[in-house]
Amino acid sequence: MTAPPAPMRCRVRTPLRRDLLIVGNGASILASSFVPAKAGEGGKPTDALLAEACAQVRAYFARRLRRFDLPLALDGTPFQVAAWRAVASLNFGEFVSYADVARAIGHPLAHRGVAAAMAKTTVNLFVPAHRVIGADGRIKGAGPTSLRIRLAEFERATTRPARMRRVRASLRESAPGTR
């Protein structure tokens, strides 16, 4: 039996004054998180998957990417993975409520569980937890300088208000178990 490849890393500069650190193993993205920006960091990744991930992140911040298309290693409970997959299927500027996600994955009363899952994702930005909002339209559990709020504002500033009915239907169609 061969050992899994060693994780590789790359950093992508973002306009948020934070870099996105992406960890992959050549087959899938294992993790990503926003970290303090470092001068001189970066360089072109030698791994094809990490190079593609970096290109997609740059396209996202240039407003040219509707949805990330990368293999993600989602490590969590079946409920968490279902919630993460449903949210990862949302397009740029599409916002849904925690209850919408809960219904889409077949657990209509589990909106708090969806909120907990979003807080525990290990692939920030690729599972866009900032697109999941409270029923009142606000981002819950985030301070005024939160990256979730800044990402949501970035997307809202460049898209017209999404029609929630269309987005909810799209979420149901792409949720696990409905394909």
Q: Which residue, chain included where needed, has tokens 């999941």?
A: 132
Domain boundaries, the chain: 8-61, 78-174
Beta strands in 8-147 (DSSP E): 8-13, 18-24, 29-36, 96-97, 132-133
Q: What is the pTM of this model?
A: 0.85
Total H helices, total E strands in the chain: 6, 5
Architecture of domain 78-174: Orthogonal Bundle (1.10)
pLDDT for the residue numbered 179: 36
pLDDT band at 170 (very low <50, low <70, confident <90, very high): low
Quote the tokens at residue 73.
């290693």
Tens of pLDDT along 79-100? 999 999 999 999 999 999 999 9
Tens of pLDDT along 103-142? 999 999 999 999 999 999 999 999 999 999 998 888 887 7
Quote the tokens at residue 152.
């949501």
